[in-house]
Chains A and B, each alone.
Chain A
């Protein structure tokens, strides 16, 4: 048995041609937002782990809470928290856009671009508004 197994005369093991993927196409608002929705979902999964760590520390007592809170309010922690806030609003706005699509509305090209830019603008404005409110309340 010298010859490799074949399917329809094609030798197995040779790289098969693949259809063009994202590295071929020019990025567009639609594709970028689709990818952003997925990336933010994975980022927010890590944020959810952070929430549980924070709750557990709070339940353990003032010392454990103080240590976690120390990391949260450090500059590195604030930058990460700012990133989580933006990822949250991006995923929230993108998710609402998806829920509207699920009702079979907003599929015209014009509507897709309007809702797409609304997601971008909404995420930026809501993130800045949340941090402005937080900083104002902190005094």
Chain B
């Protein structure tokens, strides 16, 4: 988003702030329908037994939506928590905390996707 002139003059931040800002917004927009779908589905399956819930998660639309939701959700979470850390942690622990958040979000998203696929392809 930086103008060619600003880039040439070396103005503005040399880091990834613009990319971070846009990724946070893009994931936020994606999460509006995805999270409402999840909440609606949970409400619709209130009191449902194991077979009912698995039957719902096994449908291709639910599996796909859940996987996209997990990716967008943990991407948004990693970006957001990074800002929180950068605002309050000013010691050397900042770097370690950001890395821990990123690895944690990556692991949780992966675990969620694996679980969803396991359900989707279960008999």
Contacts and interface: CB of A to CB of B under 8 A. Distances in A.
Given A99-B29, A137-B47, A52 B80 contact: no
Contact of B74 (A48, A65, A66, A130): A48
B37 to A, nearest CB: 13
A59 B118 contact: yes
A102 B114 CA distance: 35
Interface residues of B, number: 34
B80 A41 contact: yes
A48 B44 contact: no
Contact of B111 (A52, A85, A133, A138): A52
Given A55-B66, A58-B57, A88-B35, A139 B112 contact: no
Interface bracket on A: 20 to 34
Contacts of A70: none
Contacts of A41: 80-81, 84
B25 interface: yes
Given A41-B84, A52-B70, A52-B111, 19 more contacts: A38-B84, A42-B81, A42-B84, A51-B73, A52-B108, A55-B112, A55-B115, A58-B50, A58-B54, A58-B57, A58-B119, A65-B53, A66-B50, A92-B32, A92-B36, A95-B28, A130-B43, A134-B43, A137-B44
Interface of A: 38, 41-42, 44-45, 48-49, 51-52, 55-56, 58-59, 62, 65-66, 85, 88, 92, 95-96, 98-99, 102, 130, 133-135, 137-139
Interface of B: 25, 28-29, 32, 35-36, 38-39, 42-44, 46-47, 50, 53-54, 57, 66, 70, 73-74, 77, 80-81, 84, 108, 111-112, 114-116, 118-119, 122
